[in-house]
A = this chain, B = another copy of it.
Amino acid sequence: MDKMYSKEELQNRINDEIVRRSAGLRARKPGELYAPIDYSLDVGGKRLRPVLLLMAYNLFSEEIEKALPAALAIEVFHNFTLLHDDIMDKAEVRRNMPTVHLQFSENSAILSGDAMAFLSYQYLLECRSGRMFEVASLFTKTALEVCEGQQYDMDFEHRLDVTEAEYLEMIKLKTAVLLGCSLQAGALLANAEDETAQQLYDFGINLGMAFQLQDDWLDTFGDQKKFGKKIGGDIVTNKKTYLLITALEKASEENKKILDNWLNSTDFDAVEKVASVTGIYNQLGIKELVESKIESYFSEAEKILAHLPVNELNKKFLIELMESMLGRRS
């Protein structure tokens, strides 16, 4: 019987490896280049993407050590995107710590971010696999798509006419493809069939879409205690979420005027704005609409997993992870 690893076991293994690698990074010169990288990796996070890679790998092989460098590569790449996105979005806090461009400098965040992009390839290429060419091509295609997603996200800030389809394409590129890539890369490194690896990619896309829509949902309709952030932040900052975009598409002339007013007003009471916009969302049934959209991605992900030609027992931890990500306990 092959050893199957739980989410917690994989997270621990990944964190141990990051600690081990960090010591190496801190010894590299120039220190000014590597310190921000160490800072960003050390801050933590759920390590979702490397866990997905290792879980996909573990469906076909128990020798997860062989895929560990690739898992690290995905995590370093993800953190690279955070460094640069945080500059572009002028974000000040990330995981309760100052963002890299504030803690160090903007130039540091640019250059150390660049170094992380290449470091991710260095880690990836450590995996001596016969499928490396496919994995590196997949990783590269995905990285470009993530850049495209970030560009759309920035473009949407200045637009009021973003359609639902455009929004879904944006979150697919910005978030979902990297989950798909993690899973497919894990499967390829374990030498799975191309078709099976592709199914895991599709599973990741659906998981990612549901996950991102849930994030939008939680920001407005979530439970403050569980959510961790202040409810309504997206409404206050005019963030183009799935909620706002579908509301603008569905709103009556009168409600559209009210929404437009809030979107254009710079001097307002935040509590009043959140209550008014949420009120319109409720009138339009946006909550249920998003829930049904999440549900459709979730059940598509479930269906793909059910058809995956892998021992049912081995799917257990992947199903658990999906359910915990989407706040479900079946």
Contact = CB atoms under 8 A, between A and B. Distances in A.
Interface of A: 29-30, 32-33, 84, 87-88, 107, 110-115, 117-119, 121-122, 125, 132-133, 136-137, 140-141, 143-144, 147-148, 150-152, 154-155
Given A87-B110, A88-B107, A88-B110, A122 B144 contact: yes
30 contacts: A29-B148, A30-B152, A32-B151, A32-B155, A33-B147, A33-B148, A84-B110, A84-B111, A84-B114, A87-B110, A88-B107, A88-B110, A88-B111, A107-B154, A110-B110, A111-B150, A114-B114, A114-B147, A117-B117, A118-B140, A118-B147, A119-B144, A121-B143, A122-B137, A122-B141, A122-B144, A125-B133, A125-B136, A125-B140, A132-B133
Contacts of A147: 33, 111-112, 114-115, 118
Contacts of A150: 111
Contacts of A148: 29-30, 33, 115
A291 to B, nearest CB: 30
B110 A151 contact: no
Contacts of A114: 84, 113-114, 117, 147
- In the complex, the 10 A-B pairs of residues with the closest C-beta atoms, listed nearest first: A33-B151, A115-B147, A118-B143, A121-B140, A88-B107, A118-B144, A30-B151, A122-B140, A125-B137, A114-B147
A76 to B, nearest CB: 12
A144 B107 CA distance: 16
A30 B122 CA distance: 29
Nearest to A119: B144
A143 B125 CA distance: 14
Contacts of A133: 125, 132
Nearest to A110: B84
A154 B137 CA distance: 33
Nearest to A126: B137
Contacts of A125: 133, 136-137, 140
Contacts of A84: 110-111, 114
Given A33-B147, A118-B144, A118-B147, 17 more contacts: A30-B151, A30-B155, A33-B151, A84-B111, A107-B154, A111-B150, A111-B151, A114-B114, A114-B117, A115-B147, A118-B140, A121-B136, A122-B141, A122-B144, A125-B133, A125-B140, A132-B133
A113 B125 CA distance: 22
